[in-house]
Amino acid sequence: MKNTVIVTIFFILFSFVLPTAGNTENYTEKELSDHKMIAVLWSNISAEYRALCYQAYNMATIQLEQAVSKHKRKDKPLAVVVDCDDTVLFDGPFQAYLIEHGKSFNSTDWEKWVNEAKAVPVPGALEFLQFAEKNKCEVFYVPNRKNKTELKGTMENLKRAGFPNVDETHVLLKTDSSDKQLRFNEIKKTHNVVLYIGDNLNDLPIGTRNHKNEERVSITDSQKNHFGINYIVLPNPMYGGWEDVFAPNYFKLTPYQKKILHRSLLNSWTPEN
């Protein structure tokens, strides 16, 4: 409720007051992108980031081992469903490029990055997915990369890195809809999905897509017993669905509007004295 009130006040201010302020036009995308520098640095170089990735995939291995031990021949084949970006392929260098050049995300640069096929595996991802293949558990890659322009680069990158099941049956990119649930449903028709793995709640079949932040938090709390069991979440402070819900049409806001909104959403401590 508090955040909803804050966002409402924010839009009233920008509709009637803040657009007239002289410094709004001088605040650039480069200055805004600098705010992400610590998050990108942490993901690119910290040992803690690597530790959390290993922790996630260690947990995934434990759950898969249990599923394999219980699997019977008459059952559907086992499968794991994974996102690609910052789940199995690390996009930190692309995020660093955006900061260095003062840019926001754009399709032109993104497609160049994808089609160069140079992303390295997220720590722990390659070993886990090779373990899945060895145990006759199929891997389905379900990112929201564009099937029309990014399938070739995605498959080349996955193959270069040594990931299993890299073919058009198992690499299911976005065609018409960003809703991954549609692709999840198709996989479930033929396979028993042991795990869903991603860096974004929208990578999981829990229904957070197009919901406000309060609703996403509530859904997450309701699913708390499934995290680490059926759902594995990788760390990613650089970008994600958590940004989309800051405000309606968030990505259409100006850099200055985003700056003010970010500050307004901080849940800060106030000393009593």
pLDDT of the chain along its 273 residues, tens only? 555 544 544 454 454 444 444 456 688 988 988 889 999 999 999 999 999 999 999 999 999 999 999 999 999 999 999 999 999 999 999 999 999 999 999 999 999 999 999 999 999 999 999 999 999 999 999 999 999 999 999 999 999 999 999 999 999 999 999 999 999 999 999 999 999 999 999 999 999 999 999 999 999 999 999 999 999 999 999 999 999 899 999 989 999 999 999 999 999 999 998
Q: Which of 234, 243, 200, 204 is nearest to 88 (CA)?
A: 234
Distance in angstroms (rounded) separating the CA atoms of residues 142 and 144: 7
CATH class of 37-238: alpha beta
Q: Which of 101, 5, 97, 96 is nearest to 45 (CA)?
A: 96
Predicted TM-score (pTM) of this structure: 0.90
